[in-house]
Chains A and B, each alone.
Chain A
């Protein structure tokens, strides 16, 4: 049985990754999960300088999901290079660094600092709904997305993955813009902008008022969008949004994703990623699938 996949020339032992922001830089979950078993660890978004993030409360539970408005608190790329990349290098897994910024120059600075690092791919976060400047602004207008993708692609030494927002009218149009600008791959979906109100305190449940909805509640939307994008572009897709088990992951693969990422469910069950890896293998054996690539995009 072969679970290996390839994205933009980078091979992964299996398609299972961690969704940015839900797994730290691997350190916090290494107590629970053997990182060697994962296809890749995708780090929490990192900017050119440390970011404080938003006021608390930053997280709230919702029906079958959760809202977060962390606001991309991060230690900046220098700490990532000094502390987190060496930590991840101890493991036999691919390293994908998620890059965030407020301006185009911020993104470029991070990408340039990572040029000589042992990082396999860069995921560019142009879709965070929780930061006021930058972030999602680049991910909601096809022209802006095209421009920033082009700029980053010029500077990046590693293949880039543009991470798309679902908070758009037509995600396929965004996907085509990123592809046209040279993005090597796409990841989707980031969280859906949501809101929760505390009816006893008569206030917003999150200090940021709005937050990003994730978890099993959003999975059908994510599967639909992965399918839609996979029919619109030729570059590979990493699918995510509410994956809780192998069955969910296989849905994404069949919808057209080459890789899959586990996000909010890491918080619920710290062993989710390894369970998904194992469950995919069991499914392949049971269904007599020799190569995982045989089922990618098989539903048309």
Chain B
């Protein structure tokens, strides 16, 4: 699949929770986008050089639009949050390989999203037509349950909140335990401590877990070797068990990666 840098246009944007923004982008890159892939978004501030890798939340191929839902964490994302309809936005994509949808075929599936790891789960949930059942476990800081309503169209949603203001108090693993949710395969995206816990849970349950990783990256296309993760197998580039998250991932079988 071809990667390209394109000047796209903001179709619409709204804030959906504290610090969380929901942006639709008009771009031909949508035609090739898959769940679990990401795009790199450039700032217009020339002091902030590197593009920001942001996961794809939804793909509308018919209208050639991509949706990203992101958290404002620094000056780059703060700039993106100020964009209004019609604003030009430079993006590079599509990057990464996406989720292996074939692994969900004929299986009971749990999707697990934590915080800003929830958005890619929406794109994935929409694509899981061949799964026997889809359960969605999402973890939030508080009762600002962004995307939960939309996710419920695609499967039963179980909620965990750090402050206990909605659903199970605690983590996504606590929500899985307290609701007695089980499955034959897991897909997860979220903060590293959550992914470690998911990896441990999958090992115990003896089921495969596909986890989407993130890391500081520069190029996004596999050249800089910035965003690596330790792998059990030799990686395709350097053969030193350090795979590039941007090009070999970002989704890995949890048992294949060492995430501490």
Contacts and interface: CB of A to CB of B under 8 A. Distances in A.
A256 interface: no
Contact of B226 (A65, A68, A75, A79): A68
A263 to B, nearest CB: 10
B51 interface: yes
Interface in A226-283: 264-271
B237 interface: yes
Contacts of B3: 31-32
A194 B218 CA distance: 17
A141 to B, nearest CB: 28
A53 B225 contact: yes
A73 B215 contact: no
Interface residues of A, number: 40
B2 A31 contact: yes
Given A66-B50, A264-B49, A268-B50, A52 B242 contact: yes
Contacts of A52: 238, 240-242
A57 B216 contact: yes
A60 interface: yes
B228 interface: yes
Most buried by B among A63, A68, A265, A268: A268
A56 B225 CA distance: 10
A209 to B, nearest CB: 15
B171 to A, nearest CB: 21
B224 interface: yes
Contacts of B221: 28-29, 31-32, 270
B3 to A, nearest CB: 5
A215 B224 CA distance: 14
B225 A267 contact: no
A51 interface: yes
A220 interface: no
A135 interface: no
Interface in B123-154: none
Nearest to A215: B49
Most buried by A among B215, B224, B227: B224
Nearest to A51: B240
B87 interface: no
Interface stretch (A19-27, A113-121, A171-179, A288-296): A19-27
Contact of B224 (A22, A31, A61, A216): A22
A263 B229 CA distance: 24
Interface string A41-56: 0001000001111001
A74 interface: yes
B219 interface: yes
Contacts of A74: 238
B98 to A, nearest CB: 18
A264 B2 CA distance: 22
B11 to A, nearest CB: 24
Most buried by A among B92, B229, B240: B240
Contacts of B228: 53, 56, 58, 73
Interface string A95-135: 00000000000000000000000000000000000000000
A73 B49 contact: no
A186 interface: no
Contacts of A53: 225, 228, 238, 240, 242
22 contacts: A22-B223, A32-B3, A52-B242, A53-B228, A53-B238, A56-B216, A56-B226, A56-B227, A56-B229, A58-B216, A64-B47, A64-B49, A66-B49, A70-B225, A70-B226, A75-B238, A75-B240, A216-B46, A266-B219, A266-B223, A268-B50, A270-B219
Interface of A: 21-24, 28-29, 31-32, 44, 50-53, 56-61, 63-66, 68, 70, 73-76, 79, 215-216, 264-271
Q: What 8 pairs across the A-B complex have the smallest Cβ distances?
A: A59-B226, A24-B223, A28-B223, A267-B219, A267-B218, A57-B216, A75-B238, A52-B240
Interface of B: 2-5, 42, 46-51, 92, 215-229, 237-242, 247
